[in-house]
Amino acid sequence: MSEKKHSVVVMKFGGSCLQDAKSFEQTTHNINLYKQNNKIIIVASAIKGITDKLINFYHRSCDEQPECESILEDLFITHQSVIKEIINDKKPEYKYAIDFLQNNMEELTQLGRVIGLIRPSVDIQDIIVSYGEKLSTFIVTQYLNSIGYKSEFVSSDEIIRTDDNFGRALPILDETELLVRDRVGPILESSDNIIVCVTGFYGSTKDKKITTLGRGGSDLTAAIMAYCFQPTYNCKVIYWKDVNGFLNADPRIAHKTALLKNISYLEAKELAFFGSKVLHPVCLDVNEKREIPSEIRPFEDPESNEFTIITKEIVKDDKIIKAITSIQKISMVTIASGTMVSLPGTVSKLFSLLGDNNVNIIFISQSSSENNITFGIDYEDAMKVSFLLRNSSLFGKQWFNIKIDHEISLIAVIGAGMLHTPGVAGKIFSTLGENNVNVMAIAQGSSELNITIIIERKDCTKAINVLYDAFVNNS
Ligand code: ASP
Ligand code: MG
């Protein structure tokens, strides 16, 4: 595929791209491939494994556990050894990086003490985990400067404005756009070809509290950067990953899979939402809003033709179904009652209760009799939901019968070809029926790009494979 000239290329490097000398060299190589013809913005995640360690540090600090010190020690050593490995200690950048590390470790130590004294809270957790990206990105900047590039560090709390949903915040795009253009615009405009290095994963609220964008959130940061510059530059985003792109099924489950080379934002969103962990789902929404071409490319083979490009076009190829994806472990809640469920407002009360408590609803299906409503939630949220419903002044009453099934899987059959193609659902059910898979509930997204099927977990592998053979692998 020929490379179109784009003015700004935003590149997202994940934690495994930034762990040792070899991966930093690869990172530089990938940057070089685009640097000639484009202005470059890099968005970096924390060094591999660091976010988990920081979350652990937060929890230990809350419990005032002595392990805190050894976690801090470990964090320090990991970053220090990366700096030692990649930056020549005769260069001034070496000292800048080490000093930055030391100062930030001191701050973290102080924070740990504070948490021991006050009540733990998610906003402090967000401050703590943001250090992962702050350190990695600063190190990248110093590394690039030490080998002769010009790069500038930008901490994303200065430019990414979010709501205050700590731990899973969403960007406020119009305010962010102004901040980004104000802070980063002049760097891009300068004639010096400066590489802008932006910390992934976090932003801040209007009162300057640090928020994080949810796990894998650096993808979203990259999408936001492209979004902000798309009106003035031709932007594209490259997400460097340790896979070639989106596959049409999960290789751990399906016995055959293939790479999806061209896919629309809509289809990619469905894939990301229903189980594919390749991209943060919200970043696709942001890419879609301004039609920013987005590529998922293999980090270690940057010139390979095997990658996924995501654009607006829905390629309605001969296959009705492009991909089959799944969430193996979900819980399904059924609320039944004679007529109560159908009373006006009941459903909205239900979803407000869950929404206010940060419960993510994966699918909803209501039978036409309106006597019950069924919905899917993350397996991890099941206890919380059970507690919320049983203690609610409305749903805890005897006329509601609440049932939660835990051995449930969700399969989403995805493809633009389903649009206006009659009979797809029928074929799905007959395929599953012939193979003795019992369908417990179904839901169809309004986009008509997916059909969601709820089955018992024991049938999940079989169901995916028979559907794959019937729809995807049948040519
Ligand atoms: N470091 C964060 C995480 O591990 C964000 C990211 O990797 O994108 O979730
Ligand atoms: Mg990560």
CATH number, position 346: 3.30.2130.10
15: Cβ below 6 Å to ligand 1? yes
Ligand 1 nearest atom to the CA of residue 133, by list position: 1
Which ligand lies nearest the alpha carbon of 212?
1
- Contact between residue 449 and residue 414 where contact means Cβ atoms under 8 Å apart: yes
**For residues 311-332, average pLDDT:** 84
Q: What's the 219 CA to ligand 2 centre distance in angstroms?
A: 9
| Structure-block tokens of residue 340 | 């109560």
Same domain, 353 and 216: no
Measured by CA distance, the residue closest to atom 9 of ligand 1 is: 215
* pLDDT at residue 459 greater than cutoff 50: yes
Between CA 32 and CA 252 the distance in angstroms is 34
Between residues 386 and 321, the one the model is more confident about: 386
For 18-50, the pLDDT digits (tens) are 999 999 999 999 999 999 989 999 999 999 999
In a domain, 62, yes or no: yes
Domain count for the chain: 2
In a domain, 156, yes or no: yes
Same domain, 229 and 327: no
pLDDT at residue 1 in the model: 40
Q: What's the 458 CA to ligand 2 centre distance in angstroms?
A: 31
118: domain CATH number is 3.40.1160.10
Q: Model confidence at 367, in pLDDT bands (50, 70, 90)?
A: low
Q: What's the 272 CA to ligand 2 centre distance in angstroms?
A: 16
Same domain, 50 and 177: yes
241, 274, 294: which is the final residue of a domain?
241
CA-wise closest residue to 273 among 445, 26, 139: 445
- Give, to the nearest 10 degrees, the angle between helix 67-86 and helix 92-117: 170
Q: What's the 364 CA to ligand 1 centre distance in angstroms?
A: 29
Measured by CA distance, the residue closest to atom 7 of ligand 1 is: 216
Q: What's the 12 CA to ligand 1 centre distance in angstroms?
A: 11
Q: Locate tokens 């490009």: which residue?
A: 309
Backbone angles phi, psi at 336, to 5 degrees: -120, 150
241, 258, 278: which is the final residue of a domain?
241
Q: What's the 218 CA to ligand 1 centre distance in angstroms?
A: 6
51: Cβ below 6 Å to ligand 1? yes
> Among 277-281, 382-386, 390-394, where is mean pLDDT lowest?
277-281
Same domain, 231 and 333: no
202: Cβ below 6 Å to ligand 1? no
Strand partners for 361:
377
In a domain, 122, yes or no: yes
pLDDT at residue 447 in the model: 66
In a domain, 260, yes or no: no
Q: Which of 18, 126, 218 to mutate to test the pocket of ligand 1 (most atoms within 8 A of CB)?
A: 218
Q: What's the 48 CA to ligand 2 centre distance in angstroms?
A: 6
201: Cβ below 6 Å to ligand 1? yes
Which amino acid would we find at residue 238?
I
pLDDT at residue 433 in the model: 94
For the CA atoms of 132, 138, 141, 145, the dihedral, rounded to the nearest 10 degrees, stands at -140
> Among 133-137, 273-277, 332-336, 343-347, where is mean pLDDT lowest?
273-277
In a domain, 252, yes or no: no
Q: Which of 201, 224, 240, 242 to mutate to test the pocket of ligand 1 (most atoms within 8 A of CB)?
A: 201
Between residues 223 and 452, the one the model is more confident about: 223
Q: Model confidence at 6, in pLDDT bands (50, 70, 90)?
A: low
Ligand 1 nearest atom to the CA of residue 12, by list position: 8
For 160-208, the pLDDT digits (tens) are 999 999 999 999 999 999 999 999 999 999 888 999 999 999 999 999 9
Domain that holds residue 353: 323-473
Between CA 97 and CA 330 the distance in angstroms is 43
pLDDT at residue 372 in the model: 82
Between residues 188 and 420, the one the model is more confident about: 188
Average pLDDT value over all residues in the chain: 91
427: Cβ below 6 Å to ligand 1? no
Q: Model confidence at 3, in pLDDT bands (50, 70, 90)?
A: very low
Q: Model confidence at 107, in pLDDT bands (50, 70, 90)?
A: very high
Same domain, 231 and 347: no
In a domain, 247, yes or no: no
Q: What's the 200 CA to ligand 1 centre distance in angstroms?
A: 8
CA-wise closest residue to 57 among 114, 134, 14: 114
Q: What's the 410 CA to ligand 1 centre distance in angstroms?
A: 25
In a domain, 259, yes or no: no
18: Cβ below 6 Å to ligand 1? no
Q: Model confidence at 122, in pLDDT bands (50, 70, 90)?
A: confident
218: Cβ below 6 Å to ligand 1? yes
| Structure-block tokens of residue 162 | 């979010």
Same domain, 374 and 465: yes
**For residues 332-339, average pLDDT:** 85
**For residues 356-371, average pLDDT:** 80
- Contact between residue 276 and residue 334 where contact means Cβ atoms under 8 Å apart: no
233-to-7, 227, 252 alpha-carbon distances in Å:
6, 10, 40
**For residues 354-365, average pLDDT:** 89
Between CA 434 and CA 449 the distance in angstroms is 24
pLDDT at residue 320 in the model: 77
| Structure-block tokens of residue 314 | 């829905």
CA-wise closest residue to 87 among 145, 30, 34: 145
pLDDT at residue 5 in the model: 46
* pLDDT at residue 380 greater than cutoff 50: yes
* pLDDT at residue 116 greater than cutoff 80: no
265-to-115, 126, 270 alpha-carbon distances in Å:
41, 29, 9
Ligand 1 nearest atom to the CA of residue 216, by list position: 8
212: Cβ below 6 Å to ligand 1? no
241, 267, 296: which is the final residue of a domain?
241
CA-wise closest residue to 362 among 324, 386, 402, 326: 326
